[in-house]
Amino acid sequence: MEDVTIGVIGGSGLYAMEGLEDVERVELETPFGRPSDTYVIGRIAGWRVAFLPRHGVGHRLTPSEVPSRANIYGFKQLGVRYLISVSAVGSLREEYAPGHIVIPDQLFDRTRGHRPDTFFGDGIVAHVAFAEPFDAQLADRLEQAAREAGATVHRRGALGVVGGPQVPAPPESGGDRDPRHRPDGNAG
């Protein structure tokens, strides 16, 4: 199978990707179990793209049940070089209205210790730099495409990842902390 260049993970409400041509469906097994659903692979604007709904079609997995490592490993098996994750999240900033696109450059992960968070261990040792968790060049391309499509785009935000499915209380979201460290949105 020809490698896929771009992977898209659809969040709540995004269970299919419009505009794909020459579509095929691929079931994968990974060392981390089965992914959330079947990968849908096709072409859009000349690019090979793989799509996977994070919660499965029909939203059958809660945030804490999503097999994130299996999902990401599956994209790696397909040869994906650029992974885009779309999420429907709440915002802690009034200027970020529903329908706006936020392209974060930082994140806080408050799920550590609650679910597996590494591909390493069991004799595989690695130290991964995480000071810049998002690719700036990909973010630039996403911003350009979103603006060309007429979207309102916000750059350089922080994404707070919390253990769902509950929505966090203000202290969990950082609302009681220094405003410089307050996340711009939360995803479960």
Say yes or no to pLDDT of 163 above 80: no
pTM: 0.85
The least confident of 74-83, 89-98, 101-110, 169-178 is 169-178
Strands 185-187 and 90-91, sheet pairing = antiparallel
Residue type, 156: R
Chain centre distance of CA 109: 13
Are 24 and 51 in contact by the 8 Å Cβ rule? The answer is no
Alpha carbon distance 43, 33 (integer Å)? 27
Alpha carbon distance 32, 28 (integer Å)? 11
Work out the average pLDDT over 159-185.
61
Say yes or no to pLDDT of 101 above 80: yes
The pLDDT assigned to 126 comes to 87
Work out the average pLDDT over 159-175.
66
Dihedral (CA of 77, 83, 84, 90) sign = positive
The pLDDT assigned to 183 comes to 53
Element (H, E) at 141: helix 136-148
Alpha carbon distance 90, 180 (integer Å)? 18
Alpha carbon distance 105, 134 (integer Å)? 6
The pLDDT assigned to 35 comes to 98
Chain centre distance of CA 62: 15
Among 52, 55, 56, which Cα is nearest to 42's?
52
Token couple for 22: 């020459």
Say yes or no to pLDDT of 176 above 70: no
